[in-house]
Every structure is written in structure tokens, then in C-alpha cells.
């Protein structure tokens, strides 16, 4: 099987594996969240060439970074084999944030710096490869964000920066305040959620040559457990193409992302090592243009105009 290649997200940007392993659902793993179980998934990824791991401060109610960090503490040599993406800016009420009453965003300089420093501590690492502003904040001052990025960069705590869920204009605005390029915009995109194809997000990624990371590539699992008409048609299309090519339906789905010229980097959400292995097989699938449009058509519920 082809090993998962790496990809540079932007000019002088970080080199991530072309599939990233997402840690949002680590705490939901039915097998558990022990360092041994997390290590099993990290080692499965590394074996396949998946060396990049996507976090956010708040995943698992602010506990998943720490659990991942405990695994790193149990095997410090992992630090040299992995690249870490994390995010900041969402303030979520809950047992681990007793001072917060209302869910809100905070992209102040002080919060960004404190959150990144806390992520370093929790993850047990010396540097974050890529830090993303998790969501566009209506109260954000781009100059403050730029100042936080500059400080973290000068101190060597964060090597690269990006955004998540930003519109094209929000991305361009933040970029205008920085003297280095943003590395990515991590976005929601899949055959059941096609907005980025028409709202300018992927046009901008191509224009700036900045590769988007893609979250919820299986629509949170809905693509493989569909209830709606489009989802049912989509799964049938994936199964038919998989049968034709002697592959798994998820490999067809991930190959659909890989074919887009913007250089999409899907972030895997499965807790199942077998499904991580299967996803890596997408690099052995090639889709024709017509097959790509067949999948788009099934997800959209109709053909292109």
C-alpha cells in the first residue's frame, strides 16, 4: 500500500501528512482513553505515514490535549516523529472552565498567548507546528491577533499560524495584518456539505496556494449511516464505485477530496485503527472526472447546471 505522502500547506508553510488524525473524539473511543489506547492509534498513523495530529484546547471539555500529552510523556521519542496542530479562541462553559458562564469567542492577545502556552504544557511538547484561530470572532481585532502571533513566533513556541471556519474576506483581513503567510484555513467540507465549492473558499485557497484542511470529512459519520435521501444516494454511489474498483467506500470518499486541485487535507475523525488504515488506502484510488461529479451529484441531490 502507498504510504501517505506529506504536503507543504503554503509557501514556507508546515509540512503535514496529507491525511491528518483528528483528536476531537479521542474521549469518545469505546475502547477507552488510556495512554496505551492513544499510543495504538498514534502508532497506527505513523506506520501509514500519517504524522500530523489535529487538536484544539477545548476538545474533550479541555481534556484531550492532556490525555494525548500523557501518551507523549510515556514515549517522549514521539515528539520527533509527529507534527501538532492545535486551535484556540473558543471559551466553553463546563466543569473544566468553571469561570465561564456563556459560550463565547476570545481572540484577544492575552487569550491567544495563554491558550497556546497551556496547549504546550498539556501536550508535553516544546513547540506547536501550527496554531489556528478556531472560529471567526465578531469582536476580534486583527492587529491584536497579529501581535499574539508575532510574540509566539519570536519565542519559538509556535512555528506557523492559520485559521479555521473563516470566510474568504475574514482570511484576507487577518492576512493583511501579518508579515508572513497564513498556512491554512481549516474548513467543513464533504459531499453532503458543498458550500466551499461555491462560496469562494476553495477559489481563494487556489488563488493564494494555501491548502485547506477539511474537518468532518465523513459528515461526522453520517455519510456511512445515512438517513436522508441524498445521503442514501451518496452511500450507494460510494459503494458502487468501490465495488467497481475493488476498494472500500471510505477510500473512494477520501480520494474524492484528494482529487480537488486546491490540495485538500482531510482530518480523520475515526477512533477505529482499522478505519485509519483503510483511509490511507485512498492514495491507491484514482477517480475520473465523471466519477468525481457522480459523487458530487449524489451528495447535492442533483446534477451540475
Ligand X SMILES: NC(=O)c1ccc[n+]([C@@H]2O[C@H](COP(=O)([O-])OP(=O)(O)OC[C@H]3O[C@@H](n4cnc5c(N)ncnc54)[C@H](OP(=O)(O)O)[C@@H]3O)[C@@H](O)[C@H]2O)c1
To ligand X, the closest distance from the beta carbon of 23 in angstroms equals 6
CA distance 34 to 154: 35
Would you say 261 or 274 has its CB closer to ligand X?
A: 274
Would you say 138 or 305 has its CB closer to ligand X?
A: 138
| C-beta neighbour count of 54 within 10 angstroms | 26
DSSP helix/strand/coil, 281: helix
Asked if 54 is part of the footprint of ligand X (rule: CB under 6 A), the reply reads yes
Would you say 151 or 273 has its CB closer to ligand X?
A: 273
Asked if 255 is part of the footprint of ligand X (rule: CB under 6 A), the reply reads no
Closest by alpha carbon to 267, among 56, 34, 12? 56
- Read off the DSSP letter of residue 106: -
Would you say 225 or 286 has its CB closer to ligand X?
A: 225
105 has catalytic annotation: no
Q: What share of the chain is helix, strand, coil (3-state, %, to 5)?
A: 45, 15, 35
- Could you give the string, one character per residue 130-169, with x where binding to ligand X holds by CB under 6 A and - elsewhere? ----x-----------------------------xx----
- Residue span binding ligand X (CB under 6 A) among the ranges 196-204, 211-219, 283-291, 296-304: 211-219
Which residues have C-beta within 8 Å of that of residue 274, sequence separation ≥ 6? none
To ligand X, the closest distance from the beta carbon of 89 in angstroms equals 10
Which residues have C-beta within 8 Å of that of residue 48, sequence separation ≥ 6? 1, 3, 4, 276, 277, 280
CA distance 183 to 161: 6
Closest by alpha carbon to 105, among 91, 119, 118? 91
Active-site residue, selected from the candidate residues 59, 62, 105, 254 = 59
Number of residues that bind ligand X (CB under 6 A): 24
To ligand X, the closest distance from the beta carbon of 216 in angstroms equals 4
Asked if 186 is part of the footprint of ligand X (rule: CB under 6 A), the reply reads yes
* Contact call for residues 126 and 79 (beta carbons, < 8 A): yes
Would you say 29 or 151 has its CB closer to ligand X?
A: 29
Q: Show the cell assigned to 6.
A: 506529506
Would you say 52 or 304 has its CB closer to ligand X?
A: 52
To ligand X, the closest distance from the beta carbon of 174 in angstroms equals 16
DSSP helix/strand/coil, 16: strand
Asked if 129 is part of the footprint of ligand X (rule: CB under 6 A), the reply reads no
CA 58, 153, 17, 290 dihedral sign is positive
Asked if 66 is part of the footprint of ligand X (rule: CB under 6 A), the reply reads no
Which residue of 168, 217, 231, 299 would you call a contact of ligand X, by CB under 6 A? 217
Q: Show the cell assigned to 239.
A: 459503494
Asked if 23 is part of the footprint of ligand X (rule: CB under 6 A), the reply reads yes
To ligand X, the closest distance from the beta carbon of 179 in angstroms equals 25
How does 242-266 read in b/e, with b if 16+ C-beta sit within 10 Å? beebebbbbbbbbbbbbebebbbbb
- Residue span binding ligand X (CB under 6 A) among the ranges 11-19, 112-120, 271-279, 280-288: 271-279
Provide the binding-site residues for ligand X, judged by CB under 6 A: 22-25, 54, 134, 164-165, 186, 215-221, 224, 250, 267, 269-272, 275
Task: Give catalytic residue positions.
Answer: 59
Amino acid at each position: 500500500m502507498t504510504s501517505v505522502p506529506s504536503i507543504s500547506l503554503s509557501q514556507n508553510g508546515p509540512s503535514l501528512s496529507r491525511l491528518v488524525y483528528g483528536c476531537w473524539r479521542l474521549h469518545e473511543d469505546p475502547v477507552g482513553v488510556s495512554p496505551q489506547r492513544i499510543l495504538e492509534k498514534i502508532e497506527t498513523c505513523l506506520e501509514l505515514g500519517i504524522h500530523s495530529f489535529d487538536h484544539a484546547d477545548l476538545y474533550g471539555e479541555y481534556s484531550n490535549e492532556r490525555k494525548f500529552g500523557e501518551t507523549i510523556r510515556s514515549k517522549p521519542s514521539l515528539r520527533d516523529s509527529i507534527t501538532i496542530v492545535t486551535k484556540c479562541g473558543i471559551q466553553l462553559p463546563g466543569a473544566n472552565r468553571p469561570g465561564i458562564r456563556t459560550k463565547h469567542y476570545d481572540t484577544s492577545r492575552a487569550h491567544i498567548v495563554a491558550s497556546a502556552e497551556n496547549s504546550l504544557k498539556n501536550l508535553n511538547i516544546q513547540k506547536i507546528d501550527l496554531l489556528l484561530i478556531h472560529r471567526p470572532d465578531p469582536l476580534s481585532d486583527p492587529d491584536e491577533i497579529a501581535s499574539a502571533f508575532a510574540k509566539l513566533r519570536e519565542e519559538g513556541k509556535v512555528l506557523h499560524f492559520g485559521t479555521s471556519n473563516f470566510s474568504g474576506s475574514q482570511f484576507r483581513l487577518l492576512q493583511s495584518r501579518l508579515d508572513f503567510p497564513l498556512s491554512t484555513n481549516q474548513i467543513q467540507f464533504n459531499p453532503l456539505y458543498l458550500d466551499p465549492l461555491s462560496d469562494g473558499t476553495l477559489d481563494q485557497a487556489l488563488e493564494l496556494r494555501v491548502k485547506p484542511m477539511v474537518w468532518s470529512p465523513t459528515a461526522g459519520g453520517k455519510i456511512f449511516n445515512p438517513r436522508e435521501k441524498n445521503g442514501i444516494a451518496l452511500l450507494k454511489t460510494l459503494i458502487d464505485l468501490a465495488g467497481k474498483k475493488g476498494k472500500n467506500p471510505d477510500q473512494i470518499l477520501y480520494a474524492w477530496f484528494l482529487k480537488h486541485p486546491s490540495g485538500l487535507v482531510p482530518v480523520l475523525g475515526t477512533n477505529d485503527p482499522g478505519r485509519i488504515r483503510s483511509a490511507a488506502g485512498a492514495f491507491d484510488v484514482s477517480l475520473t472526472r465523471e466519477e468525481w461529479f457522480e459523487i458530487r451529484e449524489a451528495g447535492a441531490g442533483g446534477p451540475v447546471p
